[in-house]
């Protein structure tokens, strides 16, 4: 094996390593984005659920109030 072939071999290994590293970094970034967006959606859903629950409570209180007035 001469120096040229060794250099080629080394560079392909390095390229493979960098490609793998880039892919893993991409996966990690994608995972982080997914987790953050999932948490955001979960907060939005919780907020909406609380709002709906509050509006139903207010409606039921209004109905009770109207019943008492009659």
Give the model's pLDDT for residue 20.
81
Q: Could you give the C-alpha distances from 5 to 2, 9, 19, 20, in angstroms and in order?
A: 6, 6, 21, 22
Separation between Cα atoms, residue 14 and residue 10, nearest integer Å: 6
Condensed to tens digits (0 to 9), the pLDDT of residues 17-32 reads 778 888 888 888 888 8
Separation between Cα atoms, residue 54 and residue 66, nearest integer Å: 18
User: Where are the alpha helices (H) located in 3-70, listed in sequence order?
Assistant: 3-69
Q: Is the pTM of this model over 0.75?
A: no
Separation between Cα atoms, residue 69 and residue 15, nearest integer Å: 80
């Amino acid at each position: 094996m001469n120096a040229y072939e060794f250099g080629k071999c080394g560079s392909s290994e390095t390229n493979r390593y960098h490609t793998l590293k880039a892919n893993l970094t991409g996966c990690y970034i994608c995972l982080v984005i997914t987790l953050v967006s999932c948490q955001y959606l979960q907060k939005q859903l919780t907020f909406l659920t609380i709002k709906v629950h509050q509006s139903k409570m207010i409606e039921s209180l209004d109905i009770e109030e109207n019943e008492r007035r009659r």
